[in-house]
Structure 1
Amino acid sequence: MVMPVLNEAAGIERNLDRLFHLLNDQWQVVVVDGGSTDDTLLKLQAFPVKVISSQAGRARQMNAGANSVSGELIVFLHADTQLPDDFMPQMNKFIHSRCMWGRFDVELDDPRWLFKIISWFINQRSWITGVCTGDQALFLRRELFTRLKGYVDIPLMEDVEFTLRARKVTRPYRITAPVLTSARRWIRHGPVKTVLLMWWLRLAFRFGVSPQRLHSWYYGSSR
Structure 2
Amino acid sequence: MGKIIDILKERSSPKNIQEIIVVDGGSTDNTVNVALEAGASVIHSPVGRAKQLNMGAKYAQGNILYFLHADTSPPYRFDENILNAIKKDNTVGCFQMKFDSDSRFLNFFAWFTRINHILCRGGDQSLFITKNLFEKSGGFNEDYKVYEDNEYISRLYKLSSFTILPRHVKTSARRYEEKGEIKLQYHFGVIHLKNYLGAGPEQLYDYYKRKIAL
1:1-223 → structure 2 map (5 Å cutoff): 12-26=1-15, 27=17, 28-121=19-112, 123-124=113-114, 126-129=115-118, 132-153=121-142, 154-222=144-212, 223=214
Q: Which runs of 5+ in 2 are unaligned?
A: none
How many pairs does the alignment contain? 210
Partner of 1:102: helix, strand, or coil?
A: strand
Query: What TM-score do the two structures reach when normalised by structure 2?
Result: 0.92
- Check whether the contact 1:130–1:163 (CA below 8 A) recurs between aligned residues: no
How far apart are 1:176 and its partner, in Å?
Answer: 2.0
- Check whether the contact 1:107–1:116 (CA below 8 A) recurs between aligned residues: yes
How far apart are 1:50 and its partner, in Å?
Answer: 0.9
What is the match of residue 7 of structure 1?
A: none
How far apart are 1:35 and its partner, in Å?
Answer: 0.9
- Check whether the contact 2:93–2:128 (CA below 8 A) recurs between aligned residues: yes
How far apart are 1:184 and its partner, in Å?
Answer: 1.2
- Check whether the contact 1:151–1:162 (CA below 8 A) recurs between aligned residues: yes
Distance 1:30 1:70 in 2: 10
Distance 1:60 1:167 in 2: 21
How far apart are 1:120 and its partner, in Å?
Answer: 1.2
- Check whether the contact 2:91–2:130 (CA below 8 A) recurs between aligned residues: yes
Partner of 2:111: helix, strand, or coil?
A: helix
Query: What TM-score do the two structures reach when normalised by structure 1?
Result: 0.89
How far apart are 1:130 and its partner, in Å?
Answer: 6.6
C-alpha offsets along residues 40-88 of structure 1, whole Å, 9 cap, x if unaligned?
A: 1121121221101001111000000000011111000110110001312
- Check whether the contact 1:76–1:139 (CA below 8 A) recurs between aligned residues: yes
Once superposed, what is the RMSD of the aligned Cα atoms? 1.5
How far apart are 1:89 and its partner, in Å?
Answer: 2.2
- Check whether the contact 1:73–1:140 (CA below 8 A) recurs between aligned residues: yes
Percent of aligned positions that are identical = 30
Distance 2:209 2:198 in 1: 19
C-alpha offsets along residues 153-185 of structure 1, whole Å, 9 cap, x if unaligned?
A: 121111111111111122311112100011112
- Check whether the contact 1:131–1:164 (CA below 8 A) recurs between aligned residues: no
How far apart are 1:13 and its partner, in Å?
Answer: 2.0
How far apart are 1:112 and its partner, in Å?
Answer: 2.6
Partner of 2:28: helix, strand, or coil?
A: coil
Q: Which runs of 5+ in 1 are unaligned?
A: 1-11
Distance 1:33 1:76 in 2: 14
How far apart are 1:131 and its partner, in Å?
Answer: 5.7
